[in-house]
Amino acid sequence: MELTRLKSWLLAIGFVVLVAVPPLVTALDETFYITLISRVMIFAIAALSLDIILGFGGMISFGHAAYLGLGSYAVGILAFHEITNGWLQLFVAIGGSAVVAFIIGAICLRTSGIYFIMITLAMTQLLFFIGISLETYGGDDGLPTDRSEFAAFIDLGNEWILFYLILGFLVLCMYISWRLINSRFGMVIRGCHENEARMQAIGFPTYRYKLLAFVISGSMCGIAGFLLANLTEFVTPEFMHWFRSGEIMIMVLVGGMGTLFGPVVGAFAFLLFEEIISGFTENWPVIFGPLLVLLVLFAKQGVWGLLPKSKAGDG
């Protein structure tokens, strides 16, 4: 994948605008936007991670919220036991998501098509119900939690610092995904999406590569969960609800499946749209639904895909 000059510029401008958000909205006395954009960036990470398996790997996982939940419960449960070290929590969020993604992936990847979708969905619902049954940790009421503690200079109690930490993670995840997708590993994943039978015929044992992609994707979404718990200072099984999985998938569709950075744009488009429209009417899905259908019909590669492509036909 190569990025066109236009897309590189848009990404650079987007980054500068994001950096400017905290001072700008503070000057305008609208600090609520710091929280809103923080939330959007967290979902951008989730959508980005889903796109690795959905858009590039062709694995229609309808259970990505599982890792959002796992990442956030890593913070909530550890903090409940007074382990507030941010590095440790982050490690558990990523590691826990990886382990669960490995188990779910190992099972689901033996199936395909509609079965794959159904099983990823069922597995996530299972986690949702486990979350509800964890009475110690608040059950379905959820669990208030403190923010993670890093070294003194990263004080997450400060909304600005939390904002920039999230932005930093977003940029890092985008960079890692970019390298990943263009690497040998990335080519294998994309090849499996294009034509798995041919991949096997030319000598790739495809299962293990797809499984690892599934694990990487889940782990990255675990980071989003870690950040979400920090932002909301609250963890709840709701984070793992299938509805949430659907939303993340819609962000990917809106932004552009298989475009890597499109889903980041999709997260902004979806959540900001929701924010604005829901100010006017509670029935915002009635407006959003048809718009989504139009988008999927006329822009198969989402809003990002509407931009001109590089010569090689992608990016």
Partner 1 sequence: MADPILKVEDLTKSFGGVVATDQFFFDIHQGEIHAIIGPNGAGKTTLLAQVSGMLKPDSGRILFDGQDITGLSAAERSHLGLARSFQITSVFRHFSALQNVALAIQAHQGHSFRFWKPAAKDSSLTEPAMEILSDLGLADRANILADNLSHGEKRQLEVAMALATDPKLLLLDEPTAGMGAEDSARIREFLGGLKGRHSMLLIEHDMDTVFSLADRVTVLVYGRGIATGTPEEVRGNAEVRAAYLGEDDAAHA
d(CA 299, CA 295): 5
Tokens of 184: 């040998």
Residue 261 or 270: which CB sits closer to partner 1?
A: 261
Site for partner 1 in 196-235 (CB under 8 A): 197-206, 209, 212
Residue 68 or 98: which CB sits closer to partner 1?
A: 98
Q: How far is the CB of 1 from partner 1 (least distance, A)?
A: 9
Residue 133 or 200: which CB sits closer to partner 1?
A: 200
d(CA 286, CA 292): 10
Residue 174 or 231: which CB sits closer to partner 1?
A: 174
Looking up tokens 């003194």 gives 152
Told to check if 292 binds partner 1 by CB under 8 A, we report no
* Beta carbons of 41 and 166 less than 8 angstroms apart: yes
Told to check if 308 binds partner 1 by CB under 8 A, we report no
Angle between helices 113-133 and 65-80 (to 10 degrees): 20
d(CA 262, CA 268): 10
Q: How far is the CB of 60 from partner 1 (least distance, A)?
A: 18
Told to check if 195 binds partner 1 by CB under 8 A, we report yes
Burial of 253 (0-12, 13-18, 19+ CB in 10 A): buried
Told to check if 110 binds partner 1 by CB under 8 A, we report no
d(CA 173, CA 219): 11
Told to check if 179 binds partner 1 by CB under 8 A, we report yes
* Beta carbons of 115 and 109 less than 8 angstroms apart: no
Residue 28 or 197: which CB sits closer to partner 1?
A: 197
Phi, psi of 235 (to 5 degrees): -125, 145
User: According to CB under 8 A, which one of 57, 58, 86, 186 is a site residue for partner 1?
Assistant: 186
Told to check if 160 binds partner 1 by CB under 8 A, we report no
Q: How far is the CB of 53 from partner 1 (least distance, A)?
A: 15
How far is C-alpha 57 from the geometric centre of its chain's CA atoms?
A: 15
Residue 156 or 189: which CB sits closer to partner 1?
A: 189
Q: How far is the CB of 18 from partner 1 (least distance, A)?
A: 26
* Beta carbons of 131 and 108 less than 8 angstroms apart: no
Residue 125 or 309: which CB sits closer to partner 1?
A: 309
Told to check if 314 binds partner 1 by CB under 8 A, we report yes
- Determine the residue type at 217: S
Told to check if 81 binds partner 1 by CB under 8 A, we report no
Told to check if 190 binds partner 1 by CB under 8 A, we report yes
d(CA 162, CA 149): 11
Told to check if 182 binds partner 1 by CB under 8 A, we report yes
User: Contact residues for partner 1 (CB under 8 A)?
Assistant: 179-180, 182-188, 190-191, 194-195, 197-206, 209, 212, 311-314
